[in-house]
Amino acid sequence: MSTYLRRRNPAAKLVVALVLSLLLVLVIDPVTPLLFLAATIAGGVAAGGIRVGTYARASMPLIAVAIGFVWSNAVFATPVPGDQILASWGPVRISETGLRFGTGLALRGFAIGVVSVTFIRSTDPADLVVSLIHDMRVPFRIGYALLAAYRFLPFVAQEYTQIRLAQRVRGVTRSPLAGVLSLFAMAIRRATRIAVAMDARGFAAAGPRTSFRVVPLTAADIAFALVSVATAVALLGTGALGGWLRLWDGRFSA
């Protein structure tokens, strides 16, 4: 399905994703990442055709990390003078500042993850490689090697499942690590075949190469990047005016 985000240049979308992620890294309050999170999901659904369920499934692995950020900072952060203690169990005390700091880190991780999911779900890997080579001057050997590695990853899970099924047919019921050695051997054979195929197509040759696929960088792509970054700056400005924006000051504490 052709959507607005899918029609945008992959290199432009990559730059936007990196800029948004870097801005979020500097933010440690809980409100600003929540605004980034809402704006990114709204943009992905409206302009990229990405379903909310897709975001929910992709964010599931981040829940454990988010919980770790929240409770560790709420419990172990050193209370600042005048800080309110929300709850205490013996020597364990949950401070308001630590809870707010941990929640901000958790939401920041979710926001960066949602930005990444939006980029991945709206970008074709082959178009990304072509755009990196032509628009960002990435050497073609590196670009197409990355594409081969990206295409290779889904086969790892499939082959591991096949190995485990074959072992069960033979009566092997040991731990899941029993198939790792076989998987490693199959991965080496597949990587060797890919390397031979790339060499047969002249990837080791010197000099410039032409491409059949062309992914142009248009004025619409530049406008998309500028509007996206301007929206992010506007969210930061709104937080500064509202008084809830808090930027990282170099300390790893609340």
The answer to whether the Cα torsion of 26, 31, 36, 41 is positive or negative is positive
131-167 b/e (C-beta count within 10 Å ≥ 16 → b): bbbbbeebebeebbbebbeeeeeeeeeebbeebbeeb
pLDDT digit string (tens) for 166-221?
777 777 666 666 667 777 777 788 778 877 877 777 776 656 667 777 888 899 99
Q: 227 and 157 in one domain?
A: no
pLDDT digit string (tens) for 231-249?
999 999 999 999 888 887 7
Q: 119 and 14 in one domain?
A: yes
Q: 148 and 40 in one domain?
A: no
Instruction: Please check whether residue 247 lies inside any domain of the structure.
Output: no
Domain count, the chain: 2
Q: 21 and 111 in one domain?
A: yes
Q: Are strands 85-89 and 92-95 parallel, antiparallel or unpaired?
A: antiparallel
Report how far residue 36's alpha carbon sits from residue 41's, in angstroms, rounded to the nearest whole number. Answer: 9
Q: Which two tokens stand for residue 29?
A: 């309050």
Q: Which of 23-27, 114-118, 172-176, 193-197 has the least mean pLDDT? A: 172-176
Q: Given a cut of 90, is residue 43 above it in pLDDT? A: yes
Instruction: Give the list of residues 6+ apart from residue 211 with CB closer than 8 angstroms, or none.
Output: 130, 133, 134
The percentage of the chain sitting over the pLDDT mark of 90, rounded to a whole number, equals: 32
What's the pLDDT at 175? 60
Residue 85 bridge partners (DSSP): 95
Q: 147 and 67 in one domain?
A: no
Q: 88 and 27 in one domain?
A: yes
Tell which wins on pLDDT, 220 or 156: 220
Instruction: Please check whether residue 233 lies inside any domain of the structure.
Output: yes
Report how far residue 29's alpha carbon sits from residue 2's, in angstroms, rounded to the nearest whole number. Answer: 36
Q: 144 and 83 in one domain?
A: no
pLDDT digit string (tens) for 56-107?
988 888 888 888 777 777 666 666 656 666 666 655 666 667 777 788 888 9
Residue corresponding to tokens 């870097």: 22
88: enclosing H helix or E strand: strand 85-89
Instruction: Please check whether residue 211 lies inside any domain of the structure.
Output: no
Residue corresponding to tokens 């704006």: 39
Tell which wins on pLDDT, 189 or 32: 32
Instruction: Please check whether residue 251 lies inside any domain of the structure.
Output: no
Q: Choose among 217, 236, 216, 223: nearest CA to 20.
A: 236
Residue span of the structural domain in which 76 resides: 4-123+218-242
Q: Choose among 194, 216, 213: nearest CA to 147.
A: 194
Instruction: Please check whether residue 50 lies inside any domain of the structure.
Output: yes
Q: 69 and 14 in one domain?
A: yes
Q: 133 and 109 in one domain?
A: no
Q: 102 and 134 in one domain?
A: no
pTM, rounded to two decimals: 0.77
Q: Which two tokens stand for residue 155?
A: 């086969």
